[in-house]
Structure 1
Amino acid sequence: MKRLPPLPALHTFLVTAQHCNFTRAAQQLHITQGAVSRQIAGLEEHLGYALFQRQARGLCLTAAGQDWLPRVQQVFALIEQGVREVGGRSATLQLKAPTCVMRWLLPRLMEWQALRPDIPVELTTTVQHGVDFRREGFDAAVVYGDAPNHGLRVRKLFDEQLTPVCAPSVLASGLPLARLEDLAGHMLLHPSRDEHDWRLWLQAAGAAVELQGRRQHFETLDMAMAMASQGTGVAIGDWALIGDDLRSGRLCMPFDLKVTTGKGYYLASPARNMPAGLVELLDWLEQRASH
């Protein structure tokens, strides 16, 4: 197989074809006119045919040169695009995460940006719990559910642990909330319409799984937690995600029982070489999850 022509010679051909003049091409390339002439002659010898016709007043492209020009332009346009896109990705890390993990993740990313402003992160939130790196241009993602096993690099953040939570004002309202039966007197807040989380916790607690009384459904866990912190009712929350709310007193746990569901939160990234900044970010998030 014939070896490819050298890239510098192709660039010289591209500039020379734009000017059809060795002198102006030399000025743009910051080399001598003789060097331009020698590179073009060497390229023509390598290819086996002429690219320019030498005329008294300058140059003009041969038929072969006219065929070559758009192809070489396309090659350099692709190189320029690659430099721009890859450079942009390395400058800002692209992270995807489901909305349910925002209460934990967002404060940590803000802390990260204060510590490492030189490694910015652009966060995309979604109601989806997974990621497909073959079709989505993210550097990493937080994944909820079972441990991913599709050839990805995976780090476990924490297990999902369900427990009822409410605002301190609910406990101080005078309505009892010490026994499981007391839940019937409160508005129950559901992070999804299937009521699965509440049923799972009540069953583990030994209570009847038929949910009675007032209830309110939300599309995301974060919305249910926000309403619970305002004293609207008692929500079923994920203990692993609401540590900040519990420590600050925005939320409290009326019952001690935490039920592990078998699902969890994972950091996933493609099984390819990762930028050093991404490795550092994922290491840091994994460490923060262990605290």
Structure 2
Amino acid sequence: MPARPMKRLPPLPALHTFLITAQCCNFTRAAELLHITQGAVSRQISGLESHLGYSLFQRQARGLSLTAQGRELFPRIQQVFALIDEAVDQVGVKREALQLKAPTCMMRWLLPRLLQWQKERPDVPVELTTTVQHAVDFRREEFDAAVVYGARPDGSMQVHHIFDEQLTPVCSQSLLDGPTPLSELSDLEQHMLLHPTRDQRDWEQWLKAAGTTLSNISKGQHFDTLDLAMTVASQGSGVAIGDWALIGEDLSAGRLVMPFDLRVKTGQAYYFVYPNRAGSSPQLQELLEWLLVQAAQREGQ
């Protein structure tokens, strides 16, 4: 079946001239609005009528009036130009990236989710700044929002709870299946303890909740970040104490396993915060709601 020949559309400038002329029904006024001569308006309308094959205006001694075809065409041309205006405005809008700050200990949970967010919402870019600090000062730091760790922040900013810190020992499957047992709490005495901080408070807090003590707690290896401790643990070099909420990806992928079921809440938590001035940003609210859904899914596991 032969293809139908493409229909030649009316010229866009002539349609725009028709739109303006139809709004005022006066060649002189239309010429003023379009910044062209009255004769140019008349010629464009006549050319458009010739192209369409019907009249758009009735010429009268006191002005113009739309014909039946003109009245039918007018609202449709209005809609076309409104769509063009909307398209130009939307494309011309500069997408400002949301500036987000977060502590490095949060990266194992946050970074994969921000990458997923950018796939789903490329129109709302996020620029992430990592820091060893656990707090934020919006009076001095130019961030739209931040993830903070610790006690619940004060009321000087908008605060949304993400999840609580829950400590639990983790190690590699190869270490768990190795020649040195790790089925009883006392078996931890035979393994290198890995600390995600320069002190040993995380292990101490978990062991206290478990009702035991270890003689080798001060002989373990210390790291500056949770990420380093988890990486070394995944390589089978020892048993680390980690935050269950943050290492969910490692547990799901089998890079880490939990030798004991006990998870201890420390009273500390992670919060999504932003200054009051940023509360009206719909993009920020969308990101917040999306992250809270992600956090709720982890808590439900």
State the SS of the aligned residue for 1:95.
strand
Q: CA deviation at 1:150?
A: 3.5
> 1:199·1:211 contact (CA, 8 Å) conserved in 2?
no
Given the alignment, which residue of 248, 270, 282 partners 2:288? 282
Q: CA deviation at 1:89?
A: 9.7
Q: CA deviation at 1:174?
A: 1.3
> 1:184·1:213 contact (CA, 8 Å) conserved in 2?
no
Q: Percent identity?
A: 61
Q: What root-mean-square deviation, in Å, do the aligned CA atoms of Structure 1 and Structure 2 show?
A: 1.9
- Count how many residue pairs are aligned between Structure 1 and Structure 2: 206
The equivalent of 2:85 in structure 1 is: none
Given the alignment, which residue of 184, 187, 191 partners 1:182? 187
TM-score scaled by length of structure 1: 0.68
Q: CA deviation at 1:134?
A: 0.5
Q: CA deviation at 1:193?
A: 1.4
The equivalent of 1:18 in structure 2 is: none
Residues 239, 189 of structure 1: alpha-carbon distance in 2 compared, 3 angstrom cutoff: same
Spell out structure 1 runs of 4+ moving beyond 2 A. 209-214
Given the alignment, which residue of 156, 164, 167 partners 1:162? 167
Given the alignment, which residue of 259, 262, 286 partners 1:257? 262
Given the alignment, which residue of 126, 132, 139 partners 1:127? 132
> 1:185·1:213 contact (CA, 8 Å) conserved in 2?
no
> 1:130·1:144 contact (CA, 8 Å) conserved in 2?
yes
> 2:200·2:217 contact (CA, 8 Å) conserved in 1?
no
State the SS of the aligned residue for 1:290.
helix
Structure 2 unaligned regions, length at least 5: 1-34, 36-92
> 2:102·2:131 contact (CA, 8 Å) conserved in 1?
yes
The equivalent of 1:193 in structure 2 is: 198
Structure 1 unaligned regions, length at least 5: 1-29, 31-87
1:185 partner letter: Q
TM-score scaled by length of structure 2: 0.66
Q: CA deviation at 1:106?
A: 0.4
Q: After superposing the two structures, state which structure 1 stretch, 188-197 or 200-209, moved more.
A: 200-209
> 2:167·2:265 contact (CA, 8 Å) conserved in 1?
yes
